[in-house]
Amino acid sequence: MSDYKAAGVDIDAGNETVRRITSIARATFTPGVLSEIGSFGGLFQLDRERYLEPVLVSSADGVGTKLKIAFMTGRHDTIGTDLVNHCVNDILVQGAEPLFFLDYLATGRLSPSVAEQIVIGVARGCRENGCALIGGETAEMPGFYADGEYDIAGFIVGVVEKAAVIDGHTIAPGDALIGLPSTGLHTNGYSLARRVLFGATGLSAGSYVAELGTTIGEALLATHRSYLPAMRPLLQQRVVKGIAHITGGGLTENVPRILPDGCVAEIRRRAWTVPPIFRLLQERGDIGDDEMFRVFNMGIGLVIVCAASDADDVVAGLERRGERPARLGAIVAGPKRVTYV
């Protein structure tokens, strides 16, 4: 006799997962949420009194092969926070504040305890960013994922006043470039990092590395930070011309995405100290500078462009909020690209 469970899909495990995560998700609800977890669709009411011309900004992303580090270490409570913060940063660059978030979790065999840990991380990220987790999907797909492995994706919607949208169109030669530090690799470059660190070097996730002051696994699981708390006052002041979230493609590929034609981002490599994890990767992997700056964030997770006359105030304001901004360089005339000096 055949049944769904024998085919690899455990409906009871799915129900148990929903039971575990419902209260976790509900704790993130904001006043705009009109639906409950388990509805076919999530309902959210926008507070129209707050905006003259509200513009919705959306994004979807994952955390890539950073998941492999979670599988190696058995730690699953940070991946969800990585996911939320990555998505928050992606809409932040256009000036948006997050409204609500949905997640998609797919696995070969559903473990309610692992799913609970993942959603705990998602909910933590949502609470810290003032974002409601209003729904999602958990898919059990036997034969599609290896035992103990899963994939996760996130979907975010935020809002910005139309007059406050940041799109980089006013960036011009003479503007200043300011960088905010990352907490590590964030969510990019892990395929190369894993090949370097777990290949010929003979290291494992539990290997302690003196120059890092921690294990490889802990260093690689460092949470992708959200820049919303640091940037919120600057968004309100409207002194920012452009923002780049440094994800896949590094500084080299991401900064040009916000530049108008005729603008070059000239970045001084000595403007900040590259964190030890990147130096370790470069040395152990014999990776060239160009490749490092194209794959990894190199310790800069967000780049801000503002008028040179505003740079001192922007830096001072960030420092008052406990940030360590780096004056990366300036915009100069030329074909749209990044150059390093």
Q: What is the pLDDT of residue 14?
A: 76
Give yes or no on whether 11-164 and 176-340 have one common fold.
no
Judged against a pLDDT cut of 90, whether residue 10 lies above it is answered with no
The answer to whether the beta carbons of residues 294 and 250 sit under 8 Å apart is: yes
User: Which positions ≥6 away from 341 have C-beta within 8 Å?
Assistant: 266, 267, 268, 269, 329
At the fourth CATH level, the homologous superfamily of domain 176-340 is PurM-like C-terminal domain (3.90.650.10)
Neighbours of 16 (CB within 10 A): 17
Please answer whether residues 136 and 195 qualify as being in contact, where contact means their C-beta atoms are separated by less than 8 angstroms. Answer: no
Q: Which residues of 50-81 are buried (b: 16+ CB within 10 A; e: fewer)?
A: eeeeebebebebbbbbbbbbbebbebbbbbbb
Q: Could you give the CA distance from residue 232 to residue 307 in angstroms, rounded to a whole number?
A: 18
- Residue 277 pLDDT > 70: yes
- CA distances 83 to 34, 251, 292, Å, are 24, 20, 23
Q: 1 pLDDT exceeds 80?
A: no
- Range 51-72 average pLDDT: 97
Write the DSSP assignment of 305-322 as a string of letters. EE-GGGHHHHHHHHHHTT
| The predicted structure's pLDDT at residue 201 | 77
Place of tokens 């539990």: 206
Reply yes or no on whether the pLDDT at 81 is more than 60.
yes
Q: What is the mean pLDDT of residues 136-165?
A: 95
Q: What is the pLDDT of residue 2?
A: 63
pLDDT the model gives residue 63: 97
306 contacts: CB under 8 Å, gap ≥ 6: 175, 176, 178, 239, 240, 241, 314
By mean pLDDT, which of 10-19, 112-121, 210-219, 233-242 is the weakest?
Answer: 10-19
Whether the pLDDT of residue 127 is over 60: the answer is yes
- What's the whole-number average pLDDT of the chain? 95
Question: Does residue 4 have a pLDDT over 80?
Answer: no
Topology of the domain covering 11-164: 60s Ribosomal Protein L30; Chain: A; (3.30.1330)
| Separation CA 79–CA 263 (nearest Å) | 36
DSSP 212-240: TTEEHHHHHTPPPPP-HHHHHHHHHHT-E
Upper half-sphere CA count for residue 122 (Cβ side, 13 Å)? 31
Q: Name the pLDDT band for 27 (thresholds 50, 70, 90).
A: very high
266 pLDDT more than 60 = yes
Q: 174 falls in which pLDDT band (50, 70, 90)? A: very high
pLDDT band for 183, please (50, 70, 90 cuts). Answer: very high
pLDDT at 111: 93
7 falls in which pLDDT band (50, 70, 90)?
Answer: low
- Classify 335 as helix, strand or coil: coil
Dist. CA 311–CA 211, nearest whole Å:
34
Structure confidence at residue 6 (pLDDT):
64
* Range in 5-9, 209-213, 246-250 the model is least confident about: 5-9
275, two tokens: 């964190």
Number of Cβ atoms within 10 Å of the Cβ of 233: 14
| 186 φψ region: left (φ > 0), alpha (ψ -120 to 50), beta (else) | left
- Tell me if 89 sits within 8 A of 226, measured CB to CB: yes
Give me the residue spans of the domains in the chain: 11-164, 176-340
State mean pLDDT over 219-245: 97
